[in-house]
Amino acid sequence: MAIESNLWFEEILEMQAGRTMKIKIEDLVEAYDSKFQRIEVYKTRPFGKMLVLDGVIMLTEWDECGYHEMLAHVPMFAHPRPENICIIGGGDGGTMKEVLKHKTVKTVDICEIDGDVIRLSQKHFPELASSFDDSRVTVHTADGAKFVAENKNAFDIILVDSSDPIGPAEVLFSEEFYMDMKEALREDGIAVTQSESFFYHESIVAKLTGFAKKHYAAPSYYYTMVPTYPSGMIGFTFCSKKYDGLKDFDDTRTASMQDSLNYYNPDIHRGAFALPQFVRRKINF
């Protein structure tokens, strides 16, 4: 559960690692123990409302755009015509909100194991979770790994909007899951997975990018800035069966959407793939 001391929030996992960021809390809006995890919604002084799962920050209203826009739009603009989309996790609706901005999208299957995350997000984060009301969306309250394994050759894009590799999300960081994603994608499909911080989680990044190199024709890794996440950034493994995240990026399609975005733009897209030297040595694409 979350740690509160004089109305300050600190992530338990980061404290155990010997580092911390404290966020001033004005109120605990709601706390609920679901079948899978403890779900908390806080009102913070600097960052607006904040969603926390098992003591780990999932999003704040202030900086969610850095995560959701980059998870969604980088692969969506690298693929020439993304129509059928799968989102694993993402129960807050933020990634799906961004996906649905693309006019080519015909269907979105979102598979969130914990229906209570969806319910509480609809209650407390309607600006994100209103995406669940779109007629193109089908919600599956089920295990994401099993859902991917059961759907072959079904999707143009798979987006894995997962929590950290503990508890119900642990299976999403396995090689078997990366192989199943490949089978679930169409012949030119792209999968992108939440892949932690290269400052704090080098071994996880190396493992996941290793799966991508082994099983996908055009693998890469990119990152975004999210101040309330550990180290202030988070990365994504780009797993593509055909399209390169940079060479096949069509920036002409971004213009009509730019007014609805707060973080993503064509320059950010390109720059996100420029990695520090120590990361290049570690993942060696």
Q: Do the strands 3-4 and 137-140 form a parallel or antiparallel pair, or are they unpaired? A: unpaired
List, in sequence order, every residue forming a beta bridge with 238; answer none if it has no partner: 192, 220
Helix and strand numbers (H, E) in the chain are 10, 13
* Whole-number Cα distances in Å, 39 to 9, 24, 113, 162, 171: 14, 18, 13, 15, 20
If you write DSSP's letter for every residue of 103-171 in order, what string do you get? TT--EEEEE-S-HHHHHHHHHH-HHHHGGGGSTTEEEE-S-HHHHHHH--S-EEEEEEE---SSGGGGG
Look up 161 and say whether it is catalytic. Answer: yes
**Residue among 161, 164, 259, 267 flagged as catalytic:** 161
Closest CA to 84 of 146, 155, 22: 155
CA 185 to chain centre: 18
Taking phi over 0 as left and psi of -120 to 50 as alpha, with beta for the rest, 224 belongs to beta
The crossing angle, in degrees rounded to 10, of helices 175-184 and 202-215 is: 40
Cα 154 from Cα 90, distance rounded (Å):
19
Which residues carry out catalysis?
Answer: 161
